[in-house]
A and B are shown apart, each in its own frame.
Chain A
Amino acid sequence: MIMSDSQNLLQVGHLTKIFRSGGFSAGKELVAVDDVSFDIPTEKPVTLTLAGESGSGKTTTARMVLGFTKPTQGEITYRGKSILNMGNDEWRRYRREVQAVFQDPFGAFNPMYVVDHSLKIPIQKYGLAKTEDEIRRLISDALEVVGLRPEEILGKYPHQLSGGQRQRIMLARAFLLRPRIVVADEPVSMLDASMRADILHLMLDLKRRWNVSFLYITHDLSTAHYVSDSIAIMYQGSILEMGPIDDVISNPLHPYSKLLIDSIPIPDPGQRWQEHVQLPSKELQTQISNGCKFYDRCGARMEVCKAERPALGQEGSRSVACHLYRA
C-alpha cells in the first residue's frame, strides 16, 4: 500500500470552482473558489475554520469536500485517494466518515416525522444494527454523547424542540456513524447566543473525546476563535491568510484580515470603534485583473499590487498572500 499522503487524512490541493452562466461564448464566469489548498492531519483531531464573508467561496469549498459539487480543477484526497476516483466501497466509507451539519436546524428535519426517524435512517442505510432494540440503543447512546436525554427527545416532532436541541440531534446523527471529520457549515449562526456556547462546547468535546476533526465554515470569527486550532481567511474565492488561530486573531497580517477582525464589535462599551469605516458608495466592478483581489479596498496598496496577484507565502507560523510581506 502506498503511504505517501498518509500524514493527512484530508488533503485539498489547488481546488478551483468556476460557475458559468449564460451562453457558451457570451457567458459570464464566476470564479467561486480559486486555487484553495489546506489539509486535515491523520494523527490528531483538529478544527480548521474556513472564514469569510458572503461570496468568499467558503461554502462552495465545503460543498466540494462533501462531494455535492464537482471541482473545476484541483484535488481532494481522503486517506491518500482522490474522492473523484473512488470505487463504490471507498465512496461509501468516505460518506460515512465525513459527515455534515448545516446552518438551519429546522430545515434538516422532515416535519412530518418524529425525530427518531432522522436518526434511524443512517443506521439502516449503513446496516449498523439488526434489531429494533439495537437501533434504539445506538440512538440513545448517540443522544447521550451530545448531552440530550433520550426520554425527552424521542417521540417528539422537530417543532417541539428548540433550535439548540435540533442542532444537537444533527450532531448525534453525524456521531452515529463515528465520523473522522464533520463539515459544519454555520452550525450556530441561527441559534441564540445562550445556546450557541452550548453547541460550541459540544464540538470541542467531540473533538477531544471522540477524535472528530471539524472543518468549520463560518463568517463569525469569535466562535471560530473559541473552537478552532487554525483558520483560513477567504476573500473572493482565495485564501489570503492561514495559520494558527491565536496568531491570526491577535496579530493579523493581511490588511483584509486586519479590517475584518477590527470590525467585529467587542461586547464592551469601553472599547468602542475609534475609526470610521467607509462603505463603498457604489457597487465595485468585478474587475478581471491580474492584481490582488483586495486592491480596491486596501489601505496599504502599492503599485505592484495592481499588476501582480500575490501568492500565499510563508511568514513565520502562517501563510499570507500579500506583497507587504515580500522581501
Chain B
Amino acid sequence: MSDRILEIKNLTAYYEIGTSPTRAVDNATLGIIRRGEILGIAGESACGKTTLALAILRLLKPPGRIRGGEVIFDGVNLLELGEEEIRRIRWKRISYIPQSSMNALNPVMRTRDQLSDGIRAHESGQSRDDLEGRIEGLLKDVGLSRDVIGMYPHELSGGMRQRVAIAMAMALDPELLIADEPTTALDVIVQRGILQLLGEIRDRMHTILLITHDMAAQAEISDRVGIMYAGKMAEIGRTEEVFGDPLHPYTRLLISSIPKLRGKSEPTWIGGLPPDLRSPPKGCRFNPRCPRLIAGTCDTKEPGLAEVSPGRFVACHLYGD
C-alpha cells in the first residue's frame, strides 16, 4: 500500500455547450495527496471545485466531458478504467458526499435501509444481524444514537441528516472521501461538529478531499489547502503557510475578504468578476483583477504551477524563474 493515494495531473474537464466550451477545470494539477491527510480545495462559486470532484470520480455527465489529464489513484489512472472497473472502486474505495447530500436522502426510506442499500450493492451474502450490527457501528461513529436507525429523514434535523450521509459514505470503509461543501447551510455549532467529525475520520487514516468555499472551515481542519481560480490551481501548500504567508495575489485577497470576528480589521473585497470560462482572459486568468499585474507578462503568458519551496506550489509570475 503506497503512501501516495491520489495524484492529479493536468486534469481538464469542459462543458461542451454551444460553439465554445466552458473550461470549468483546465489543466489543473493537484500534485500528490498522501494517506491520512485532509486536502482542502477552496475558491469562489463557479471556480470548478465541484467539476473537479465529479471528474475525479468519473461522475461527470454530458455535456460535461473529461478532455485530458491523469487521476492516479493508488497507482492506477482512473481515467483509463472501464465503466465496470470504476464502478467497483467508486463508493467502496473512493466515496463521495455530494453538495446538499443531507437533502438527498430518500424520503421514504428509514436510516437502516439508506445505509444497507449501499452495503448490499457492493458486498453480498451478509446476514441480517451482521448488517444491523454494522449499521449501528456506523451510526455510533458519527455520534448518532441507535434509535436513529428506524427513523425517516424528515424526523431528523439537518445536522443529523448530514451525519447519516457521512455514515453512508463511510459504510464500505473507503480510503478516500471526497466531501463537497459538507457544512454549507448548517448552523455554526453543527458545522463545528461536522468538521470535527471529518477530523476524526482523517485520524483513522482515511484521506479526505474537502471542497468548501468557507476559508475559515479550511483553516480549522485542512492539513493542506489548494486555492482554485477559474478552473486552475492558483496555490497549494500547508494550511499554516497558505494562511500565514499567502503568495498568490488572489489568495491574499481571498483571505483578507473574510470578516473577522475578533478585531475590527476591515474586510476588503476583490474588484471585478471571475472571468467567463467560455473565453477566459489571455495569460493569467486572474490578471484583469490583479493588483500586482506585470503588464506585458501576466496578460500574455500563462504562469505554470511551480514549486517555490518544498511542497509549496504557486502559479504566478511574481514567483517565476
A-side interface residues toward B, CB under 8 Å?
53-54, 162-163, 192-198, 200-201, 219, 221-223, 225-226, 249-250, 259-261, 263-270, 272-273, 276-283
Interchain CB contact under 8 A, A277 and B193: yes
Which A residue sits closest to B140, measured CB to CB?
A: A281
Interchain CB contact under 8 A, A193 and B187: no
Looking at B22-30, B84-92, B95-103, B263-271, the stretch in contact with chain A turns out to be B263-271
Interface size of B by Cβ–Cβ distance < 8 Å? 51
A248 to chain B, nearest CB (A): 11
Kindly state the separation between the CA atoms of A70 and B21 in the bound complex, as whole angstroms: 51
Q: Which residues of A sit under 8 angstroms from B156, Cβ to Cβ?
A: 283
**Known contacts A162-B273, A226-B267, A281-B143: A197-B257 contact under CB 8 Å:** yes
**Known contacts A221-B261, A282-B148: A277-B269 contact under CB 8 Å:** no
B window 17-48: CB within 8 A of A: 44-45
Q: Which residues of A sit under 8 angstroms from B269, Cβ to Cβ?
A: 194-198, 201
B96 to chain A, nearest CB (A): 22
Kindly state the separation between the CA atoms of A211 and B144 in the bound complex, as whole angstroms: 50
B window 134-175: CB within 8 A of A: 143-145, 147-148, 155-160, 163
B window 209-239: CB within 8 A of A: 213-217, 219-221, 239
Kindly state the separation between the CA atoms of A222 and B260 in the bound complex, as whole angstroms: 6
Q: Which residue from A192, A200, A260 sits with its C-beta under 8 Å from B44?
A: A192
Kindly state the separation between the CA atoms of A269 and B187 in the bound complex, as whole angstroms: 21
Centre residue among B192, B193, B215, B240 by max chain A CB count within 10 A: B192
A-B contact pairs, 21 of them (CB 8 A): A192-B213, A193-B215, A193-B254, A197-B259, A200-B267, A219-B188, A222-B259, A225-B259, A249-B261, A260-B189, A264-B188, A264-B261, A265-B195, A265-B219, A266-B220, A273-B192, A273-B220, A278-B193, A279-B193, A282-B144, A283-B155
Q: Which residue from A54, A163, A194, A265 sits with its C-beta under 8 Å from B257?
A: A194
Interchain CB contact under 8 A, A264 and B216: yes
Q: Which residue from A194, A265, A279, A283 sits with its C-beta under 8 Å from B220?
A: A265
Q: Which residue from B148, B192, B193, B215 sits with its C-beta under 8 Å from A267?
A: B215
Would you call B190 an interface residue if the criterion is a C-beta within 8 Å of the partner chain's C-beta atoms? yes
Q: Which residues of B sit under 8 angstroms from A163, Cβ to Cβ?
A: 45
Interchain CB contact under 8 A, A54 and B195: no
Which A residue sits closest to B240, measured CB to CB?
A: A269
Interchain CB contact under 8 A, B217 and A265: yes
Interchain CB contact under 8 A, B267 and A267: no
Interchain CB contact under 8 A, A265 and B192: yes
Q: Which residues of B sit under 8 angstroms from A263, Cβ to Cβ?
A: 188-189, 191-192
The 8 A CB mask of B110-148 against A (1 = contact, 0 = none) is 000000000000000000000000000000000111011
Extra contacts besides A54-B158, A263-B191, A270-B244 (18): CB < 8 Å: A53-B188, A162-B273, A192-B45, A194-B44, A196-B257, A196-B269, A197-B267, A221-B188, A222-B260, A222-B261, A249-B261, A259-B189, A263-B188, A264-B216, A266-B260, A276-B196, A277-B192, A279-B163
Kindly state the separation between the CA atoms of A215 and B102 in the bound complex, as whole angstroms: 31
A297 to chain B, nearest CB (A): 9
Kindly state the separation between the CA atoms of A265 and B189 in the bound complex, as whole angstroms: 10
Interchain CB contact under 8 A, B216 and A267: yes
Kindly state the separation between the CA atoms of A277 and B200 in the bound complex, as whole angstroms: 13
Which B residue sits closest to A225, measured CB to CB?
A: B261
Q: Which residues of A sit under 8 angstroms from B273, Cβ to Cβ?
A: 162
Interchain CB contact under 8 A, A261 and B261: yes
Kindly state the separation between the CA atoms of A312 and B257 in the bound complex, as whole angstroms: 36
Q: Which residues of A sit under 8 angstroms from B255, Cβ to Cβ?
A: 267
Kindly state the separation between the CA atoms of A196 and B269 in the bound complex, as whole angstroms: 8
Would you call B258 an interface residue if the criterion is a C-beta within 8 Å of the partner chain's C-beta atoms? yes
**Known contacts A193-B215, A267-B215, A268-B219: A53-B187 contact under CB 8 Å:** yes
Pick the 9 closest A-B CB pairs, nearest first.
Answer: A265-B216, A197-B267, A53-B187, A279-B193, A194-B270, A281-B145, A198-B269, A197-B269, A282-B145
B35 to chain A, nearest CB (A): 21
Q: Which residues of B sit under 8 angstroms from A221, Cβ to Cβ?
A: 188, 261
Q: Which residues of A sit under 8 angstroms from B157, Cβ to Cβ?
A: 283
**Known contacts A193-B215, A265-B220, A267-B219: A223-B195 contact under CB 8 Å:** no
Q: Which residue from B243, B266, B268 sits with its C-beta under 8 Å from A268?
A: B243
Interchain CB contact under 8 A, B262 and A278: no
B62 to chain A, nearest CB (A): 23
Would you call B293 an interface residue if the criterion is a C-beta within 8 Å of the partner chain's C-beta atoms? no
Which B residue sits closest to A282, measured CB to CB?
A: B145
Q: Which residue from B213, B262, B268 sits with its C-beta under 8 Å from A250?
A: B262
Would you call B105 an interface residue if the criterion is a C-beta within 8 Å of the partner chain's C-beta atoms? no
B240 to chain A, nearest CB (A): 5
Which B residue sits closest to A256, measured CB to CB?
A: B189
B178 to chain A, nearest CB (A): 21
Interchain CB contact under 8 A, B259 and A226: yes
Centre residue among B189, B254, B268 by max chain A CB count within 10 A: B189
B140 to chain A, nearest CB (A): 9
Would you call B253 an interface residue if the criterion is a C-beta within 8 Å of the partner chain's C-beta atoms? yes
Kindly state the separation between the CA atoms of A225 and B259 in the bound complex, as whole angstroms: 8
Which A residue sits closest to B160, measured CB to CB?
A: A283
Q: Which residues of B sit under 8 angstroms from A249, Cβ to Cβ?
A: 261-262
Kindly state the separation between the CA atoms of A228 and B160 in the bound complex, as whole angstroms: 32
Kindly state the separation between the CA atoms of A196 and B258 in the bound complex, as whole angstroms: 9
Interchain CB contact under 8 A, A193 and B257: yes
